[in-house]
Amino acid sequence: MRPSRRPLRFARRQEAASWQEDPLSGVANLFDISLAFIVAMVVALFSLAGGTSFLDPAANWTMTRTDAQGHMEIVQKQGKQIQVQKVSDRRLSGNGDRLGVAYRLPGGKIVYVPEGDSGHGAAK
User: Binning pLDDT at 50, 70 and 90, where does residue 38 land?
Assistant: very high
The answer to pTM > 0.75 is: no
Cβ 84 vs Cβ 75: under 8 Å? yes
Q: Render 27-61 in DSSP notation, one character per residue.
A: GTTHHHHHHHHHHHHHHHHHHHTTHHHHH-TT-EE
39 pLDDT above the threshold of 70: yes
* pLDDT for the residue 122: 45
Which residue type is seen at 117?
D
Cβ 81 vs Cβ 62: under 8 Å? no
